[in-house]
Structure 1
């Protein structure tokens, strides 16, 4: 192992990049500080030079997963973009959900949703509720979807049976239908306010 301190060889971005590689290879169960340190060829203690604890590192990974502010301005497009970001990373919804729950992540999509809801005519308080509702719908649906996909890969679920089968047993994706209902509810609440 190189005697140069990890702080001189790796910056925060390098640690997050290593964590993203481990996540892609092993998912959240394999995303340990030991595995990330091995990826960087450093001692585990070197990671704490940049991150005080694993939750801080997971928050940085979450920020990498969700990316910058979305270009979309419509609520449904913002929500679909967030889902796409979460699905692009193994266990993305679970990691982001944890960071949000602990107050360690400012979600750019949520900020964009607040703006879109205000522009739709909601009050500031109503826009906050609308944004939170849409974010929770997207993360919850995607978390469920990723759990099912993982279970089917490891043989714990029948891969031939869809996450949400219709009455004939055909595959379907209810995400868009559910999102349309949520967004319609948000728009309908403008009349109430």
Structure 2
């Protein structure tokens, strides 16, 4: 049975969650799916395209409504739910791959500048949180009990509630 694009993205996300972005390769995704790496290129042009699709999948279920603070928390949780999720979304955003719909939805409920600032803040803080938690899990750093509260303080500043 041939794999679909959805299968490829799902496989790539499983590899990401198991190995992290640094060790997520097209070869490893192909092995996860039980195919040759060349078979992936029937669905995606290159790894960057796959990263964009992965980022889009990571944020796909984030409901955007008028409560931007809650939206920010939903986005953060979506990225935290998968290893290096924030890094994938950050990479896709930097290269304008796969997350523009979310930004557009944020802008429709605020302004372009607030949406971009909020998006970059949430992704950046989440990326730092993931890195800190991963380092803490292997004993490199002590846990930081202020990560969640500092996230909320930053949101208050951006959303002018500070």
Runs (5+) with no aligned partner, structure 1: 1-7, 118-126, 165-170, 186-193
Distance 1:99 1:20, change over 3 A: same
Q: Deviations over 1:32-53 (max 9, x none)?
A: 1111111111111111111111
Q: Which runs of 4+ in 1 moved over 6 A?
A: none
Q: What's the TM-score, normalizing by structure 2? A: 0.91
| 1:183 corresponds to which of 153, 159, 162 | 159
Deviates more, 1:9-18 or 1:24-33: 24-33
Distance in 1 (CA, whole Å) between partners of 2:21 and 2:148 is: 27
Kept in 2: contact 1:37–1:44 (CA 8 A): yes
* Alpha-carbon distance in structure 2 between the residues aligned to 1:163 and 1:27: 24
Task: Please report the RMSD computed on the Cα atoms of aligned residues, expressed in angstroms.
Answer: 2.0
User: Structure 1 length as normaliser, TM-score?
Assistant: 0.77
Q: Which residue, out of 19, 27, 33, partners 2:20?
A: 27
Stretches of structure 2 that go unaligned for 5 or more consecutive residues are none
Give the count of matched residue pairs: 162
Deviation at 1:155, TM superposition (A): 2.8
**In the alignment, is the contact (CA less than 8 A) between 1:70 and 1:109 conserved in 2?**
no
- Tell me the equivalent position of 1:188: none
**In structure 1, which of residues 136, 140, 146 is the aligned counterpart of residue 130 of structure 2?**
146
